[in-house]
Structure 1
Amino acid sequence: MKKLLLASAVATGLGLSGQAAADRIALVISTLNNPFFVTLQEGAEAKAEALGHELIVLDSGNDAARELSNVEDALSRDIDALLLNPTDADAAASGVRSANARNVPVITLDRSASAGRVASHIASDNVAGGRLAGEFVAERLGGEGRVVQLEGVPGASATRDRGEGFVAALDDAEGLELAASQPANFNRSEGLNVMENLLQAHAELDAVFAQNDEMALGAQRALQANGREDLVLVGFDGTDAGIQAVEDGQLDATVAQQPGRIGELGVATADALLAGESVAASIPVPLKLIVRD
């Protein structure tokens, strides 16, 4: 099984919190075939280098079985802490429990695990972000219209939470109808294909919410090809490509996270734990709605 192994090691010096250098931290990440998670990885790598830790990065390729294999691989390397960005909240529980059995502290990033002992969860409030997107759509449509949603990976906590917040905002508007909600797995090409199908199935649509910018950019291509660029289109994540698309008028808005900050905080929190410090069970990372001026 091919794995992406990226290591940054500093052999001398002290971490900022004072413990000996070169504690080994593993980052098991859902996929690196997504700019959001690449930025998260880069933030973690930069912080690990600054604090003098060795960081091992393992790419799960959006495969829960591979994720568990990656966790077991990392644990066999005698890591001191595990940063886990789960592919699936329920499936991730096995990996968390394996780390618990070895007394390796676990910190979840962006997505949560449904069971097992997690020292800290670092993420934006995805429910609040979904609500932001829904409220924006409601405002743009004057509280009336037919909307479709492109969901992320089924089972991922981000998929569930963003959908929950978005649907709650639509319900509050009363005049908005969720005509369809289908998964496109946070993938741009799948976003294009699913959007094509939705346009075929629903002649009257007014807005699209894609649970990440990659799906939104795929949907935008489908809307453009079908002459439906009049639809309100909202993404999520605030990736560089997503923000540029807002500036270019291809997306109406994106709910911006700070993936680099999530990665940085993950390593900083592991650093604190390894120094014997207490950490918050939940560490929020602020969101903001990016719209074209």
Structure 2
Amino acid sequence: MKKVVSLITAAVLGSTLSVSAQAQDTLAIVLSTLNNPFFVSMKEGAEAKAQDLGYKLIVLDSQNDPSKELSNVEDLTIRGVKAILINPTDSDAVSNAIRLANRSNIPVLTLDRGASHGKVVSHIASDNVAGGEMAGKFIMEKVGQKAKVIQLEGIAGTSAARERGKGFMQSVKNSSMQLLASQPADFDRTKGLNVMENLIAAHPDVQAVFAQNDEMALGALRAVQASGKKVLIVGFDGTKDGIAAVKRGKLGATIAQQPDLIGALGIETADKVLKGQKVPTSIPVPLKIVTK
């Protein structure tokens, strides 16, 4: 009798361990950088959802370096993760990393920025084109149809920079706004400050600035404050720092994404893929404009 009980106990324990092992399947999120509050929020959203769904989550930082990104994905293929969520450093350069995961039959989902090549199961992002248009319309409403504007661009080659710029330029073309300059500042606050200092000197009649993310907008703000000029600045992302600056009346507005929701939806979608469910190839995350 004792032997039968022992066998039953062993079977139950084995079943429990099996369920536990399944629950601890590992997912990974590869972020372009963690030196940006937007992507930190994305990471936190992914971590919370992974915990809710019973997954272990590996978080890797590519430090805005495509070669580091490729190395990160290579490492993950060896570690046997079940799915990879990737926020590309560059939409073209990331293709090699995605193809590497494809060859290992690991599902790939892109977050915020898309990929030019490689098989991606689903892309989760805000409508960046619509967001760029929203920024342009807000500037026209506040400054006027003939506003003299400057655009600070993100990292060249990223889908976010291309799409936000496309939307903003549509607003410019469909109005009498005058684009004085459009120059990259790589989504970076310090570069936003330095680039804006030079552009203010070259274009002292500037009335408004569209920065393709809040970090550049906050850098531009410092340059504008130092110049003593009155310039409307609109950012993009809706980071905590960006929204705080809007509420203090320092930034005119920010086009708010929900990075934590992007991260959470990425994990949710990966979970569905692993369960054999069909998922949309593109999942839009709502945008909103935040003003004082």
Residue 67 of structure 2 aligns to a residue in which SS?
helix
Structure 1 segment 174-189 matched on structure 2, within 5 A:
175-189=176-190
> CA 1:14 to 1:21, structure 2 compared with 1: closer, same or farther past 3 Å?
same
* Contact 1:12/1:21 (<8 A) preserved: no
Structure 1 segment 33-182 matched on structure 2, within 5 A:
33-173=35-175, 175-182=176-183
Aligned to 1:208: 209
Shift of 1:23: 1.4
What root-mean-square deviation, in Å, do the aligned CA atoms of Structure 1 and Structure 2 show?
Answer: 1.5
1:199 counterpart = 2:200: yes
Letter in 1 for 2:263: G
Shift of 1:13: 9.7
* Contact 1:138/1:170 (<8 A) preserved: no
Structure 1 segment 234-249 matched on structure 2, within 5 A:
234-249=234-249
Aligned to 1:3: none
Aligned to 1:250: 250
Deviations 1:29-54 (A, max 9, x none): 00000000000000000011111111
Letter in 1 for 2:188: N
Long gaps (5+) in structure 1: 1-10
Shift of 1:20: 2.9
Shift of 1:24: 1.1
Residue 102 of structure 2 aligns to a residue in which SS?
helix
Aligned to 2:262: 262
- Partners of 2:222 and 2:193 in 1: CA distance: 6
Aligned to 1:232: 232
Aligned to 1:20: 22
Shift of 1:12: 7.3
Deviations 1:129-166 (A, max 9, x none): 00100111111122012110111111111000000000
Deviations 1:106-146 (A, max 9, x none): 00000000011100000000000001001111111220121
Structure 1 segment 263-278 matched on structure 2, within 5 A:
263-278=263-278
* Contact 1:235/1:254 (<8 A) preserved: yes
* Contact 1:12/1:22 (<8 A) preserved: no
Letter in 1 for 2:278: S
- Partners of 2:180 and 2:151 in 1: CA distance: 8
State which structure, 1 or 2, has the greater radius of gyration over its C-alpha atoms. 2
Residue 87 of structure 1 aligns to a residue in which SS?
coil
- Partners of 1:285 and 1:14 in 2: CA distance: 33
Q: TM-score with structure 1 length normalisation? A: 0.92
- Partners of 1:169 and 1:37 in 2: CA distance: 27
Bigger fraction of residues in helix: 2
Letter in 2 for 1:238: G
Letter in 2 for 1:271: D
- Partners of 1:73 and 1:151 in 2: CA distance: 32
* Contact 2:139/2:147 (<8 A) preserved: no
Query: Identity, % of aligned pairs?
Result: 58
Shift of 1:14: 6.6
Long gaps (5+) in structure 2: 1-15
